[in-house]
Chains A and B, each alone.
Chain A
């Protein structure tokens, strides 16, 4: 049976092989990277954030208290701090004339990070759909096409497009439920 997140963190101070860290990395690095990329819009910076998150994890594993927060919550909190630092560093640089998206207050930063998390989660949920289901949602919701227009564009029978769209939304709802995201 796979070890719980908390057990892996408790073992980290004694982890000489790197096995516990590797397992935690495989569980959380992809979503932390998605979050960081969404918040920073830069792959390389996002990878630096992921590296720093895991460095903080192994350096402070002894301080982790599972009664206060889940490992996931803890890792996201570390990632948030690193992303805020990255934004501050960027803000400290001289601004270009077209640089109008800086975040001036902590509240704005919090809002932006919440938005980044949700944006990444929705993107990840869509990625879990089959290509056919994803396509009808993209064309109908993001493309603004009607069922008839989608049928004409894709060559798929109209009845199939309608039923596929309904199945796609039901599946998406289940995925959001699994991710504990309330619409």
Chain B
């Protein structure tokens, strides 16, 4: 319900005690005789106390963009490490499946060109903040999601050895693949697993590790070739 036509606009200022003293008094007299306005004042009268629970300078904090992928990354890593559930299959069935899997593995291993699981590769080229850094990223599908195998050398060590790998989606969104540390000689070898779908990502970027929700400087990037 809103107030009557003549006083509806004064209800909000009245509830917030923000009218001039003479207007406040006139509004009080009006409320004594107007059921519409008095009903609306009642419905809004609890708001000032509620507003007092916050502060004027409070703002809605936004989550770091990379946190979602950190959570997903932790999830897939934990799932990958988790022991398989105890099966209720009879032992005979398990043995039959194991033999079939062994035969299949032998067949796959002996087929030419089928042993390599990577489905995309990127040559990483240095950016201004990366000095003479160079590297490669091989992307493979694993049970837990997507694994990126990273090899890098000549990573700049001044400013810290913590780096972060990112995949950029076709819509321009950056997805963190996790962080890694360069060795003292500027080389790095890391396997990072992320819950991303194959084929969604076309660019791999290495940055300094994010801090306080701010992405670090870009060090290298490369285009994935599928």
Which A residues lie at the B interface, using CB under 8 A?
A: 16-18, 21-22, 25-26, 29-30, 33-34, 37, 43-44, 46-47, 50-51, 54-55, 58-59, 115, 118-119, 122-124, 126-127, 137-138, 140-143, 145-148, 150, 159, 162-163, 165-170, 172-173, 176, 181-183
Instruction: Let me know if A51 and B74 touch, CB within 8 A.
Output: yes
Given contacts A18-B75, A51-B70, A162-B13, contact A123 B19 (CB under 8 A): no
Which B residues lie at the A interface, using CB under 8 A?
A: 2, 8-13, 15-16, 18-20, 43-51, 53-56, 58-64, 67-68, 70-72, 74-76, 78-79, 143-145, 195, 197, 212-213
Instruction: Let me know if B47 and A148 touch, CB within 8 A.
Output: no
Instruction: Let me know if B16 and A169 touch, CB within 8 A.
Output: yes
The smallest beta-carbon distance between A183 and chain B, in angstroms, is 3
Given contacts A51-B67, A137-B51, contact A146 B18 (CB under 8 A): yes
Given contacts A58-B75, A147-B13, contact A141 B51 (CB under 8 A): yes
Instruction: Let me know if A123 and B60 touch, CB within 8 A.
Output: yes
Chain A positions within 8 Å of B64 at CB level: 47
| A170 CA to B2 CA, complexed, in Å | 9
| A116 CA to B107 CA, complexed, in Å | 61
Instruction: Let me know if A119 and B58 touch, CB within 8 A.
Output: yes
The smallest beta-carbon distance between A13 and chain B, in angstroms, is 9
| Residue in B51, B67, B75, B145 whose CB lies within 8 Å of A122 | B51
Given contacts A25-B68, A51-B70, contact A145 B18 (CB under 8 A): yes
| Residue in B11, B18, B44, B60 whose CB lies within 8 Å of A147 | B18
Closest to B54 in A: A122
Instruction: Let me know if B79 and A29 touch, CB within 8 A.
Output: no
The smallest beta-carbon distance between B64 and chain A, in angstroms, is 6
Chain A positions within 8 Å of B78 at CB level: 55, 58-59
Chain A positions within 8 Å of B55 at CB level: 119, 142
| A176 CA to B46 CA, complexed, in Å | 11
A-B residue pairs in contact (CB < 8 Å), sample of 19 = A16-B79, A26-B68, A30-B62, A47-B64, A51-B70, A58-B75, A122-B50, A123-B58, A123-B60, A126-B58, A137-B16, A142-B51, A142-B55, A165-B13, A166-B8, A166-B9, A170-B2, A170-B44, A172-B47
Given contacts A169-B15, A172-B47, contact A43 B61 (CB under 8 A): yes
Instruction: Let me know if B44 and A169 touch, CB within 8 A.
Output: yes
The 8 A-B residue pairs with the shortest CB-CB distance in the complex, in nearest-first order: A183-B46, A166-B12, A18-B195, A142-B56, A122-B54, A165-B12, A140-B18, A163-B9
